[in-house]
Amino acid sequence: MSQLDQIEHFIVLMLENRSFDCLLGKLYPPSADFDGLTGTESNTDTLHNVIAVWNSSDTDETTMSIPTPDPGELFEDINMQLFGTANPANPAPSASMSGFASNYERQATGVEQYDPKSAMHYFSPEQVPVISTLARQFGVSDRWFASAPCQTWPNRFFVHTGTANGYQNNSPTHFPYTMESIYNRFELAGNENWKIYFHDIAQSKTLSELWLLADHFHFIDQLAKDAADGTLPNYAFIEPRYFSDWSMPNDMHPPHVVTLGEQLIASVYNTLRASSAWTKTMLIITFDEHGGCYDHVAPPEATPPSETRTVPFNFDRYGVRVPTVIVSPYVKPGSIIRSPTGTPYDHTSIVATLRKRFPELGPPLTARVAGAPDVGNALTLTAPINLGPVHIDPLLYAPNPSEVAKAQEQPLNNMQKSLVRLAANLPSNAVGADPAAIGAHVAQIQVKENEPPVEATVSARSGAAFVKQKLGEFFTRPPVTN
Q: How does DSSP classify residue 72?
A: P
* Residues of the domain holding 242: 4-21+125-378
What CATH number is given to the structural domain containing 16? 3.40.720.10
Q: Which residues of the chain have pLDDT under 70?
A: 1, 480-482
For residue 335, give the amino acid letter: S
Residue 429: CB atoms within 10 A of its CB come to 18
**Domain-located, residue 285:** yes
For residue 450, give the amino acid letter: N
What's residue 481's pLDDT? 62
What's residue 245's pLDDT? 81
| Cβ-count burial 288-302 (b if 16+ within 10 Å, e if not) | bbbbbbbbbbbbeeb
**Domain-located, residue 367:** yes
Residue 175: CB atoms within 10 A of its CB come to 18
**Domain-located, residue 393:** no
- Residue 194 phi/psi, 5-degree rounding, is -140, 155
- Residue 84 phi/psi, 5-degree rounding, is 85, 5
Contact 147, 155 (CB under 8 A): yes
**Domain-located, residue 10:** yes
Q: Chain-centre distance of CA 320, in angstroms?
A: 13
**Domain-located, residue 333:** yes
What's residue 482's pLDDT? 55
Closest by CA position to 379, among listed 462, 254, 283: 283
Q: d(Cα 91, Cα 243) in Å, to the nearest integer?
A: 38
**Domain-located, residue 114:** no
Omega before residue 149 within 30° of 0, cis: no
**For the segment 190-224, what is each residue's pLDDT rounded down to a tens digit?**
999 999 999 999 999 999 999 999 999 999 999 99
Omega before residue 312 within 30° of 0, cis: yes
Dihedral of CA atoms 30, 36, 39, 42 in degrees, nearest 10, equals: 130
Provide the CB-side half-sphere exposure for 288 (13 A, CA).
29
| Cβ-count burial 328-364 (b if 16+ within 10 Å, e if not) | bbbbeeebbbbbeeebbbbbbbbbbbbbbbbeebeeb
**Domain-located, residue 304:** yes
Contact 137, 24 (CB under 8 A): no
| Structural domains of the chain, count | 1
